[in-house]
A and B are shown apart, each in its own frame.
Chain A
Amino acid sequence: DQQVKQNSPSLSVQEGRISILNCDYTNSMFDYFLWYKKYPAEGPTFLISISSIKDKNEDGRFTVFLNKSAKHLSLHIVPSQPGDSAVYFCAAYDYKLSFGAGTTVTVRA
């Protein structure tokens, strides 16, 4: 039973524009949310996180928004750069990490 869902398998965006990645979850016990980034032939690396007591967390070009009533979070990347081309995993924590299936982002020059 998939508790974390990323419904868009891929996203293509022009360099300099905003990338918006979406993630939905079903488990109301999740209290901590993360985004991981994965390049080919490498393991996922932690990008940004947000606690359930917040609705926004910003780190440079990356901002995560949490809407608990909708059980939805999103990752905004502004401006998008070619080096942002990667697979992005949404993850949520209750007693363990549960991951989404990932969204492949391609930033076009």
Chain B
Amino acid sequence: DAMVIQNPRYQVTQFGKPVTLSCSQTLNHNVMYWYQQKSSQAPKLLFHYYDKDFNNEADTPDNFQSRRPNTSFCFLDIRSPGLGDAAMYLCATSRGVGKDTQYFGPGTRLTVL
């Protein structure tokens, strides 16, 4: 089945230790998104890629970076995680931007010690 896969499902890191979360897709979609969802809050868009074009949200901290080496993979890098970065990180894809349906992965729960 075509799908969005996130690895790992659970990630524990230490305060200030860089961490990378991974997302892959078999849908061959052009757009990949990263959302942050803190406990009992709404998912919040961090950034997205349209093909190789990176689009950062204005309020996304510089601590968060992303890479998309090819159509299938997208990575979220947190350079120096703080306690406030503990959250569920959701990856999503869509065929195009705009009102195209977004397909979500199961998320990676990040714990910062």
Contacts and interface: CB of A to CB of B under 8 A. Distances in A.
A46 B95 CA distance: 14
Interface residues of A, number: 21
A41 B41 contact: no
Interface string B9-52: 00000000000000000000000000000001111110010000
A46 B102 contact: yes
Contact of A89 (B4, B42, B45, B98): B42
Nearest to B101: A46
Interface residues of B, number: 20
Contacts of B41: 101
Task: Output the residue of B48, B57, B102, B105 with the most chain A CB within 10 A.
Answer: B102
Given A89-B42, A89-B43, A43 B90 contact: yes
Contacts of A11: none
Interface string B63-106: 00000000000000000000000000010100000110111111
